[in-house]
Chains A and B, each alone.
Chain A
């Protein structure tokens, strides 16, 4: 019996940067054999992100390792015909070919879907790109930092009193696309297992991202209301926000929706008079006087440590929690219990915590097992063990410059 859910699935993974690799990570954690096809002459973006390590072109970075645990790396020179030959052998070996280059790049190498099918008729091709494989903007140069603005997430983040929004930290669309892509990829694998048919998947990270904004799209279409940034306010809950606590840059998130919570909250803050105060007695009044209320709540929170406020409110069934920084997260007792992070020993960077998946499956583990590979770490292994090349054949390829 299989130990892992996706054991036996074989992926020739050309993806780079973040959105593609993070999609393949789900498969890799689930037990699929994911072979990253990399180039030593043009190292992937995330290998260059500090902190990094490794000598003599064997670049490693924490970000790369975090995004690519459980994968193998083969370093191929795609400008060398013998290199392309190896890539094609991988296509024949694989169930899935994955890529997230600018549309047209795979075609340039003779590895478009039509060509892949000639090599392996039941191949599944997974393509992820900023705006999709077709349409007037398909060839756009884009990354997650810019795409989250195009998709609308930036316009929905920030302080209403400022001229411009404040973008969500990082590259949010790099995180909305991967699960959706992986889901359909498993669907395609399942379909292939039943019918023997492969297919081509065209994921537009823009279109995947818009699924996460659906209510705002309906609201605009129906009510002609264009959703805007609201700080941390909610259109219905009040108070709803983060409040400064004692200490340096410590904040508590508090969200209150109903009367029971409000009454308990006033009792805890020792403000029983607010229950009769016309400014705050009803939800409608609280919403109207929200900034005043927020100000007064801040006067209370700022005197207490955030941990104390969280525990006090949680004990009274009020939604409150620490705005955790990166140190808090590692000290969080819940995180420790869930083991979301897996400590993996990296040959260049030492031992550090890698992201796992946000779920546990009762029968099939999905925790990361090995750190992101060193560039070309598995070139020989992949050629000899997975592709079944003889020793001479492999050395021939090495001499011909197929690998970088």
Chain B
């Protein structure tokens, strides 16, 4: 389909089709491909994807068409039901693969191979197809069959060990992130394979390890261990990367703000501006005003110096609300941001000004729901506006009858046999 002329409104993946066999480990990958304009067909087992049971729910009603988690990450896709564990299901799936550009899946490693639907099998049907397999630890290695969950991928990535208070349990982000980061990594792999295909006409297999994608959040703590035999620890509201402790979260009048005290060129301007601001409110000591920020090296600064600085800043922040601090920091060029909740974010004038939100009509629920909009703004191949996630098997007719020319009798047989 690559020779087809591409319209401005079709997005970067306009003419392409994706068969999406993922569960929650890979939902976001297909979702982003739909944002890029691909036709993403979610293939659900008869009765619906188990991910439809994930909370939160619309009006707290645990109904398969009302999981907000599912809706968020399966928006803009199409849905057909198909049990690929059955012979009929495999037969139909292979027909679909003939015209597909991408297949993404997140079964246990080896499962697709066991069904006769592994990359080798699919590439014989369609040598152009790019197959992306998303799994917690990858398709190979001793942990490939680990029983896993998002929390586990975070734990084993190293990010949890360094997040949290030193004397308490390590933490993950309460909206679990590993599967989402893994999905984004998977799309990156898929796009690289897609680009290669443009030049060679050949597809390939992308083997994505969610945990590995998550390891990158630990920045250079692993190289640090190797270099200094020093295990980076949790520091609570202090950042521990540089060995010494640097406060990154500061309480203010009505919550907290994030501010990092950096030395040298990176921090000089923001520190200078902050002191000017403090001085304008009579809260900057002579000591503060005489610091040579350009040459202040946080690595060699003494704890006494650091404490004197941070105590003064702490006192100052506590005289303001997070809104006041955010506003003034913006005007003065101080690197500071308020700790925003999801409620605060929904009021952002910046997001409003950029027309970020997508309001999506859900006629079945008789409501318009707000979704995060485009992940990037781009002039020629913009992200498509979000559309409602499909109901279970909403596009069965389109695909099975109109496209594959199956008869309604055949559909009834397959439905009775619990294939569709």
Measured CA separation A364–B265 after assembly (Å): 39
Verify if A262 is at the interface (C-beta below 8 Å from B).
no
Q: Are the C-beta atoms of A217 and B371 separated by less than 8 Å?
A: yes
Does the CB pair A242–B257 fall under 8 Å? no
A305 at the interface (CB under 8 A from B): no
A336 to chain B, nearest CB (A): 8
B288 within 8 A of A: no
Which B residues are in CB contact (< 8 Å) with A358? 182, 185, 189, 208-216
Complex CA–CA separation, A213 to B175 (angstroms) = 7
**Structural contact, B194 and A242, CB atoms closer than 8 A:** no
Residue of A with least CB distance to B160: A323
Give the chain B neighbours of A146 by CB distance below 8 A. 258-260, 335-337
A152 touches B192 (CB 8 A): no
| CB-CB under 8 A for A326 and B369, given A170-B239, A218-B71, A232-B171 | no
Report how far A207 CA is from B345 CA in the complex, Å: 11
- Which one of A152, A158, A364 lies within 8 Å of B340 (CB-CB)? A152
Cα separation A202 to B337 with both chains bound (whole Å): 21
Kindly specify which of A74-82, A171-179, A268-276, A379-387 makes contact with the partner chain.
A171-179
**Of A47-55, A85-93, A282-290, A391-399, which stretch is located at the interface?**
A47-55
Task: Tell yes or no: B309 within 8 A of A by CB.
Answer: no
Q: Evaluate whether A169 and B143 lie within 8 angstroms (CB atoms) in the complex, with A51-B227, A146-B336, A321-B156 already known.
A: no
Interface residues as binary, B54-88 with A (CB distance below 8 Å gives 1, 0 otherwise): 11101110000000110111000000000000000
Report B144 CB to chain A, min CB distance, Å. 8
Please tell me if the beta carbons of B200 and A207 are within 8 angstroms of each other in the complex: no
Range class of the A interface residue count? 35 or more
Q: Name the 9 nearest CB pairs between A and B, nearest first.
A: A187-B12, A358-B213, A337-B141, A253-B155, A146-B337, A359-B189, A358-B212, A214-B72, A149-B258
Whether A326 pairs with B221 at a CB distance below 8 angstroms is yes
Q: Are B174 and A230 in contact (CB under 8 A)?
A: yes
Task: Chain B residues near A202: list those with CB within 8 A.
Answer: 376-378
Q: Beyond the given A48-B264, A358-B211, A362-B204, could you list 15 further A-B residue pairs with CB under 8 A, ordered by the A residue number?
A: A135-B353, A167-B163, A168-B171, A169-B218, A186-B192, A204-B377, A215-B73, A221-B346, A226-B343, A235-B56, A323-B160, A325-B232, A330-B226, A340-B215, A358-B214
The answer to whether B289 has its CB under 8 Å from any CB of chain A is: no
Q: Does B97 contact A (CB under 8 A)?
A: no
Q: A370 an interface residue at 8 Å Cβ cutoff?
A: no
Chain B CB within 10 Å — which of A48, A181, A322 has the most? A48
For the complex, what is the distance from the CA of A227 to the CA of B378, rounded to whole Å? 31
Which A residues are CB-close (under 8 A) to B184?
Answer: 176, 179-180, 183
Contact with B along A7-47 (1 / 0, CB 8 A): 00000000001100010001000100000000000110100
Stretch from B242-250, B313-321, B403-411 contacting the other chain: B242-250
Partner of A231, one of B171, B225, B270: B171
Is the interface on chain B under 10, 10 to 19, 20 to 34, or 35 or more residues?
A: 35 or more
Interface string of A126-161 (1 = CB under 8 A from B): 000001111111101111011111111111111100
5 A-B pairs whose Cβ atoms sit less than 8 Å apart in the complex: A6-B195, A66-B223, A166-B237, A167-B249, A359-B209
Judging by beta carbons under 8 Å apart, are A338 and B354 in contact? no
Which residues of the partner chain B approach A194 to less than 8 Å between Cβ atoms? 2, 6
| Interface residue A296 (Cβ < 8 Å from any Cβ of B) | no
Would B343 and A232 count as touching, CB distance under 8 A?
no
Q: Does B168 contact A (CB under 8 A)?
A: yes
Interface assignment of B100: CB less than 8 Å from any CB of chain A: no
Q: Are A190 and B149 in contact (CB under 8 A)?
A: no
B379 at the interface (CB under 8 A from A): yes
Query: Do B36 and A218 touch across chains, with their CB atoms under 8 A apart?
Result: no
* In the assembled complex, A200 has its CB within 8 A of some CB on chain B: yes
Q: Is B198 an interface residue (CB 8 A)?
A: yes
Mark B267-287 against chain A: 1 for CB-CB distance below 8 A, else 0: 001100000000000000000
Chain A residues numbered 196-244 whose CB sits less than 8 Å from any CB in chain B: 197-204, 206-208, 210-223, 225-237, 240-244
A318-B239 contact given A217-B342, A218-B71, CB 8 Å threshold: no
B165 in contact (CB, < 8 A): yes
CA distance A355 to B224 in the complex (A): 12
C-alpha gap A357/B191 in the complex (Å): 14
Answer whether residue A108 sits at the interface, using C-beta atoms and an 8 A cutoff: no
Q: With an 8 A cutoff between CB atoms, is A400 at the interface? A: no
A256 to chain B, nearest CB (A): 9
A45 proximity list for chain B (CB < 8 A): 262, 265-266
Are B232 and A236 in contact, CB atoms less than 8 angstroms apart?
A: no
- Beta-carbon nearest neighbor of A153 in chain B: B173
Q: Is A165 an interface residue (CB 8 A)?
A: yes
* Chain A positions 315-337 with a Cβ under 8 Å from a chain B Cβ: 317-330, 332-335, 337
Closest to B186 in A: A359
The reply on A366 being an interface residue by CB < 8 A is yes
Decide: B257 and A149 in contact? CB cutoff 8 A.
yes
Find out whether the CB atom of B226 lies under 8 angstroms from the CB atom of A334: no
Residues 313-350 (chain B) with a chain A CB within 8 angstroms: 329-330, 333-346, 349-350
Which residues on the A side are within 8 Å of B152 (C-beta)? 253, 255, 319-321
Asked if residues B340 and A199 are in contact (CB atoms below 8 Å), the reply is no
Q: Is the CB of B185 within 8 A of A255?
A: no
B191 and chain A: residue at smallest CB distance: A186
B293 within 8 A of partner (CB): no
Task: Give the CA-CA distance A280 to B268 in the complex, in Å.
Answer: 56
Contacting A at CB under 8 A, from B103-146, are 119, 137-138, 140-144, 146
Q: Is the CB of A352 within 8 A of B227?
A: yes
User: How many Å from the CB of A190 to the closest CB on chain B?
Assistant: 6
CB of B356 within 8 Å of the partner chain? yes
Q: Is B228 an interface residue (CB 8 A)?
A: yes
A189 on interface, CB distance cutoff 8 Å: yes
Quick check: B217 and A172 within 8 Å, CB to CB? yes
B256 part of interface (Cβ distance < 8 Å) = yes
Q: How far apart are the CA atoms of A148 and B207 in the complex, in Å?
A: 29
The CA-CA distance from A135 to B155 in the complex, in Å, is 38
Of A42, A184, A220, which contacts B378 at CB under 8 A?
A184
Cβ of B158 < 8 Å from any Cβ of A? Answer: yes
- Min CB distance B316 to A, Å, is 17
Taking CB as reference atom, which chain B residue is nearest A30? B192
| Residue A94 CB within 8 A of the other chain | no
Residue of B nearest to A2 (CB): B199
Are A219 and B374 in contact, with the CB atoms below 8 A? no
Partner of B195, one of A190, A231, A243, A325: A190
A300 within 8 A of B: no
Cβ of A295 within 8 Å of any chain B Cβ, yes or no, is: no
Q: A204 touches which one: B162, B346, B354 (CB < 8 A)?
A: B354
Please tell me if B234 contacts chain A, counting CB pairs below 8 Å: yes
- Note all chain A residues with C-beta closer than 8 A to B266: 17, 45, 48
Q: Known: A141-B333, A213-B342, A323-B170. Contact between A168 and B163, CB under 8 A?
A: yes
**Residues in B whose Cβ lies below 8 Å from that of A157:** 163, 171-174
Specify which of B189, B335, B376 is in contact with A143 (CB 8 Å cutoff).
B335
Q: Contacts of A5 on B, CB cut-off 8 Å?
A: 192-193, 195-196
- Chain A residue numbers with a CB within 8 Å of B210 are 358
